[in-house]
Amino acid sequence: MTWTPDQLAFVRSWTEALLAFGKDAFVRGTVTDVVAWEGQSTPRYSSFHFAFVGDAVKLATTFGYTVTGDETDEQINSGAHTGPIARAARQHLRAKRMSEDLGRDQIVLADFMDRLTGQAIGEFSRDEMPFTEAYGAWILNPGYPWPEDDSQPFSYWSAKKKALISPERPGWLIEVEDDSTHEMVLGVNPCMVFPAEPQTQEWPLWARAKSVDIIVAHSMSLPADLPTSHLPASYRYKELPQAIEGVRACGGLLFPSLSYGPMPASNFGPLTLVGHMGLVLDGLKPYKKRGVDPAAWVYEHDAWTIKTRELMTGVAQRIFGEMHGHEDYTYGHNLWTLGPPAELFGGPSQGSRPIKTVAQLIAVAKRRGNIFSRSMTDAEFAVVNERVSGTVDKYAYGEAKGRRVISLDEFPLFIGPEHQRRQMEMFAKGVGYRGKIVTLDDPLGVSEDASDYVLYQWSLLVADAIKKLAPPMELR
């Protein structure tokens, strides 16, 4: 840090005033600290950066941001009411022009930051600011300032602690490949920002509603440890230790796709992690609880959902943008530090209709279950499969998408064919799975590259086995 005594004195006074301003102007907890750090410096030019640090949920509420996809444009663009902002600006910053020039009852975040940096600093310092230029930003918890080039020592001033802080490299910081430049850049590990949450309620393994059964599951394939030559080309680059490390490093499954309906989605793999019913019911009426974020979004039909690679590259960069305080980052209405935006996970913008009630869930599961018959032959299955191909009813189940890391503890049962027992046991041991492993005889010869008909018949066998292991939850 090369601030002169005058510059450091200004930074201390300015950030303390901003902290008092933030506590008065916004809902308590929106601003928890104000930090500042050195910007570009030359013999004739010097700049500094400052940032509010605070709660992402309260910031989004204050400025009308959204992550649900349900708000109207008017709600999204409502902005913060300027009354308390104007009063606090006059009281703590003596920034009369900033409050007078807002010109309307509400203000959006970009306008607020522009006016705060462009006008209030000059008035606060009586036009004697010892810097050529200043840049303002917000840092959303759990972030703090961190340089894009972190090869050099770095420190920042904290108004809350009244001290210069030399931060340790954050545990959530990772290096990722930029999709456009293919260079390695900094990102934030989504697994650290959206960790698995402990279960707070016991849920049954499956449910029965009128004439339909409902199972919640995550279907998967496990590559062999060695050799891999017998696997399809798309699996040959994988090894079992890599699959294990991915789950261990994340503490569970990162935003996993879940099927719900009479059978699991075995067409995505013959191994089935059977989840408890709360994974889909805790976000639906009448089970949804006020103030509790549901584990997953539930959709009426198959939804386009973001892939793990995108989460660990582009999304990781986006979260870093919200958590490091650089002036060139603009906060959009989808704040990733609040959680994954629904419209990027098959939500309304992708044409998928979200389900909000148990009655809707039952109706979808029943409709899907009636499309394919258990007794149909391979040829009959092919005819039906061709008829529904490309439609919203192309699968015999509905889809849900996890909103966070889902712990493997939320999947009480792991079921698969007997000939893959070794892989299942190695995977379970490697990831610390504590549920029950069940293997079934496989008269169908199921494998990762089996036909759709074979995988469908296998899913029926898996569903039968699940229903023999536990009584159902009755839904109405």
Q: Write the pLDDT tens digit of every residue in 255-301.
A: 999 999 999 999 888 999 999 999 999 999 999 988 788 899 898 87
Integer CA distances (angstroms), 315 to 73, 215, 309, in order: 24, 30, 9
What is the per-residue pLDDT across 388-423, written as a single tens digit (0 to 9) for each?
A: 887 777 888 999 989 899 999 999 999 999 999 999
What is the per-residue pLDDT across 4-35, written as a single tens digit (0 to 9) for each?
A: 999 999 999 999 999 999 999 999 899 999 99
E runs forming strands in 384-467: 398-402, 405-406, 413-417, 436-440
Q: What is the largest CA-CA distance in the chain?
A: 84
Identify the pLDDT of residue 237. 42
The sign one gets for the Cα dihedral 3, 162, 114, 322 is positive
> Three-state secondary structure along 221-247?
CCCCCCCCCCCCHHHCCCCHHHHHHHH
Q: Which stretches of the chain score pLDDT less than 70?
A: 1, 66-78, 102-104, 126-127, 224-238, 304, 342-352
How much is the pTM?
0.83
Identify the pLDDT of residue 454. 93
Integer Rg of the chain from CA: 27
- The CA distance from 447 to 263, in Å, is 18
